[in-house]
Homo-oligomer: A and B are copies of this chain.
């Protein structure tokens, strides 16, 4: 008999409880042993819940039960989640969490504590909801040298960008619609300003490159500046605007994490991931690239990832070393956005003939020693896939402005 507890009976926590009882036979078969949900911790009262007798308001009750092997935290926020999980680990109890804010802020500390107590801290649900990505990254793809990870890691912003294009909505209208459907919070900053995606790319970057990357080190730009015109011009140029959270390894060995809107060409599958779906592209020397796509949030999709971790933690008490990173004590290995070399999607303030646009951009590129072989243009925008450093990008923008093609907005281009 494997006994576990759930902390927090909100959307995710109640999903974990429901899913466990619904699929208990299958879950126990996979775990190779009978399982029991022994406690649910929540400060609120749920007298009418079918699980009423499982509730407790005190972590001590759970810690006092020496048969508990796993605790699943679904409370959200850094505190008291962090203190609770540290206490569990100090009592040799493995922990599972869906809490990206917690892992992005305190992952290295939790992993070190887990290692010290020969147990585990699993967090598959913290990135990409239902999508298996944490375990595939450190286990299945363990033989790879990773060069980059790209992700659509926030379903709310992906829904908004999609609505702008398909329904011709402004950002404000699409946001209002997302709020009406419950996809966006009333205070939408964590989503639309990129902070949520930032936490998730911190987790993936830390896992892939072995050192904790803190959210404060990551250039983060949201989608507030994206206009209906950007979305339409991107579509005309065979691509889509997506909020991309990425981390790339630079030639000097540093890594460059960033969250920002990018032009994604339709040759890249990620451009086709729409609505509230998330997608992660992993680039490694052996696999070339692999994509993981699915529902990035929601009660049962997230509960699926939590429960998968609970099963794994029930089976293997020994620390899984491949899912491990440390606090390097410095963020010197993290490069700033000025180090980014990328192509450019440029939307101009005024319309012109598409051929004129092409010619003007072509000349601006040639003047800066950049090939126009892969350039494409429409009446109010262009896509330059060739990678340029920041200085060259600025020079190209200036050359275009001098020709009367002032940029209204530009964003980096993702690799095809």
Q: Which residues of A contact B (CB under 8 A)?
A: 19-20, 22-23, 26-27, 29-32, 124, 130-132, 135-136, 138-145, 269, 272-273, 284-295, 300-301, 303-305, 307-308, 311-312, 315-316, 321-322
> If the complex has contacts A32-B322, A293-B290, A308-B143, are A285 and B23 also in contact, measured as CB distance less than 8 A?
yes
Within 8 Å CB of A293, what residues of B?
A: 269, 290-293
CA distance A402 to B132 in the complex (A): 50
> If the complex has contacts A32-B322, A140-B308, A143-B19, are A289 and B294 also in contact, measured as CB distance less than 8 A?
yes
Cβ of A287 and Cβ of B311 under 8 Å apart?
no
> If the complex has contacts A19-B143, A307-B142, A311-B142, are A30 and B289 also in contact, measured as CB distance less than 8 A?
no
Query: Oligomeric state, in number of copies?
Result: 2
> If the complex has contacts A30-B322, A272-B272, A301-B288, are A308 and B132 also in contact, measured as CB distance less than 8 A?
no
Within 8 Å CB of A312, what residues of B?
A: 139, 142
Cβ of B284 and Cβ of A288 under 8 Å apart?
no
Q: Chain B residue with minimal CB distance to A320?
A: B315
Within 8 Å CB of A304, what residues of B?
A: 141, 143-144, 284, 286-287
Nearest chain B CB to A380 CB, angstrom units = 26
CA distance A26 to B272 in the complex (A): 33
A-B contacts, 21 of them at CB < 8 A, read A19-B143, A23-B285, A23-B286, A26-B142, A26-B145, A27-B142, A27-B143, A30-B322, A130-B288, A131-B290, A132-B136, A132-B140, A135-B135, A135-B136, A136-B140, A142-B307, A142-B312, A143-B307, A290-B292, A291-B291, A311-B322
CA distance A395 to B275 in the complex (A): 37
Cβ of B272 and Cβ of A300 under 8 Å apart?
no
Nearest chain B CB to A388 CB, angstrom units = 28
Cβ of A138 and Cβ of B30 under 8 Å apart?
yes
Within 8 Å CB of A300, what residues of B?
A: 285-288
Within 8 Å CB of A136, what residues of B?
A: 132, 135-136, 140
Q: Chain B residue with minimal CB distance to A279?
A: B291
Task: Give the residue of B22, B30, B287, B295 whose beta carbon is less than 8 angstroms from that of A288.
Answer: B295
Q: Chain B residue with minimal CB distance to A24?
A: B143
Cβ of A301 and Cβ of B321 under 8 Å apart?
no
Interface centre among A303, A304, A321 (most CB of B within 10 A): A304
Interface centre among A27, A29, A143, A321 (most CB of B within 10 A): A143
Q: Chain B residue with minimal CB distance to A299?
A: B286
Cβ of A290 and Cβ of B143 under 8 Å apart?
no
Task: Give the residue of B138, B295, B315 whose beta carbon is less than 8 angstroms from that of A287.
Answer: B295
Nearest chain B CB to A329 CB, angstrom units = 19
Q: Chain B residue with minimal CB distance to A282?
A: B294
Seed contacts A26-B143, A139-B312, A288-B300; 19 additional CB < 8 Å A-B pairs: A19-B143, A23-B144, A26-B145, A31-B142, A124-B140, A132-B140, A132-B141, A135-B139, A135-B140, A139-B308, A140-B308, A143-B304, A269-B269, A269-B273, A286-B301, A286-B303, A291-B291, A293-B293, A315-B322
Within 8 Å CB of A315, what residues of B?
A: 322
